[in-house]
Structure 1
Amino acid sequence: MPPVPGAVSDVRRRAGAVLAAWKVSPEIVEDALLVVSELLTNAIVHALPPAVLRLRWMRDAGLGTLHIEVTDAGPSCAARQQRAGIDPDEHGRGEEIVHALATRYGMRTSRRGVTRWAELVAV
């Protein structure tokens, strides 16, 4: 995903189309799209490009689990410097939103970058 205006909303629309094609439980689609938006926005604002979104829908024993992950190239120096001047009333809630909506969530780092992930479960 390129770090340009409108990129997050474009990818969110495309993710919504994929979730509809997969027949993902409607009860989690809205939450899933919010998680997608938050993880992608975090990657654009705080990390180096590229940002890559991966979705996986798994059904097992009547449950559906949607795995969402966004991988970026790691934190940018400019993002670290900007954080000091960011108004906490306007920014910084994305991670809290993801944690509130996800059944499980986490982060992995590798030489290639940082991956933040979340899972949502539907019954």
Structure 2
Amino acid sequence: MRDAGPVALTPGDTRWRYSSTRGRGKQASTSSRCRPSPGAVSDVRRRAGAVLAAWRVSPDVVEDALLVVSELLTNAIVHALPPAVLRLVWTRNAGLGTLRVEVTDAGPAGQPPAGIDPDEHGRGEEIVHALASRYGIETRPGAVIRWADLVTV
């Protein structure tokens, strides 16, 4: 993996790291906040696609990863307290690549928003589980982190 230089997920956001992981391969990561506004998820999804392209992640993984990004961010915006923060970590080791998609929020917001049709929502977790090699939820004081790993050869 070559250093592709800084790639911003949000305008002016150049928090991007590229480092060796103690002889176990190479790793790149970036993060971005997502505000609960119309179009926010699609904007972050588009920027995430640019980051993954710069990291030369396999197009097959990128397609699945962008769907996972959309599902996890939408879940955080609709059902949790802000902010929703997306973090992407790409690790290459011995020919294998692992992309971790993490979305952190401030915990459950309580009642779901009015007007949500249960027939149109509620499948995001199933989609993430189907696409990810591994997935999980971590809770910390004031934060919930939902993550999914996608692995490529």
Aligned residues: 120
2:94 is the counterpart of 1:58: no
- 1:2 paired residue number: 35
The CA deviation string for residues 81-120 of structure 1, in whole angstroms up to 9 with x for no partner, is x58x854321100000000000000000011210000000
Structure with higher helix content: 1
| CA shift for structure 1 position 61 | 1.0
Instruction: Find the aligned partners of 2:81 and 2:118 in 1 and give their Cα distance.
Output: 22
Q: Given the alignment, which residue of 122, 125, 128 partners 1:98?
A: 128
- 1:47 paired residue number: 80
Structure number, greater radius of gyration? 2
- 1:71 paired residue number: 104
- 1:111 paired residue number: 141
Unpaired stretches in structure 1, ≥5 consecutive residues: none
2:66 is the counterpart of 1:36: no
- Tell me whether 113-122 or 86-95 shows the greater mean CA deviation: 86-95
Higher relative contact order (CA 8 A, sep 6+): 1
Instruction: Find the aligned partners of 2:40 and 2:109 in 1 and give their Cα distance.
Output: 19
- 1:15 paired residue number: 48
Task: State the TM-score, normalizing by the size of structure 2.
Answer: 0.75
Q: What root-mean-square deviation, in Å, do the aligned CA atoms of Structure 1 and Structure 2 show?
A: 1.4
Amino acid at match of 2:57: V
Task: State the TM-score, normalizing by the size of structure 1.
Answer: 0.93
Structure with higher strand content: 2
2:121 is the counterpart of 1:121: no
